[in-house]
Amino acid sequence: MKKDLFVAFVILFVVILIFSGVEIQSVDEYYLTHLDDIREDSETVFLTVRCDEALEHIGQMNVELLASGLLPSNGVILARTEYVLREGDSVYEILDRAMRHNRIPTEYVYSSDGGVYVKGMGHLYEYDCGPLSGWSFSVNGEPAQSSCNRLELSDGDEIVWSYTCSLGLFSAQEGGGGQ
């Protein structure tokens, strides 16, 4: 009897410990982001997210994904949109805000050295289109050389996130992705 009580207490303790460390938000809470209004003097950047390369390689694509019809037929997950650049924002913050606002589920991976990379966006995950597939981005046409939270932006930058099926040949995200 005493042993059972003790075990129950331990479990309760562990549960409380766990719960104090977690943060639960409802769907709406999570997606509630405040976008700054674009004013004349505010610094802005442009963000596009596309997956047309994935649609070109349907043969390699994950069967269930294809069957679900979740991918946009035109290959555009997010059309070119302007967002206000806040102080100290990196590509990661912009993406995060934009995705939340548009209610596009995105999964990030936080690597041990502090870098962040995108595992999946809009139901399209890495490796869904063959072993060399994944997300990569470019700033002003230049493929990224470091992870998306390390790249500082300036006014007027063009950020393009595209899903590639041949990672390694084009831009690779530093600290993660294929290769």
Residue partners of 160: CB distance under 8 A and separation at least 6: 47, 48, 49, 50, 137, 138, 141
Q: Is 25 in the site for another protein (CB under 8 A)?
A: yes
Helix (H), strand (E) at residue 96: helix 91-101
56-95 mask for another protein (x: CB under 8 A)? -------xxx-xx-x-------------------------
Helices (H), 40-108: 52-56, 63-68, 91-101
Of 133, 139, 140, residue with least CA distance to 151: 139
Which range in 23-31, 84-92, 130-138, 148-156 contacts another protein by CB under 8 A? 23-31
Q: Is 33 in the site for another protein (CB under 8 A)?
A: no
Q: Cβ 63 to another protein, closest distance in Å?
A: 8
Q: Which residues contact another protein (rule: CB under 8 A)? A: 22-27, 29-30, 63-65, 67-68, 70, 105, 107, 120, 123, 125
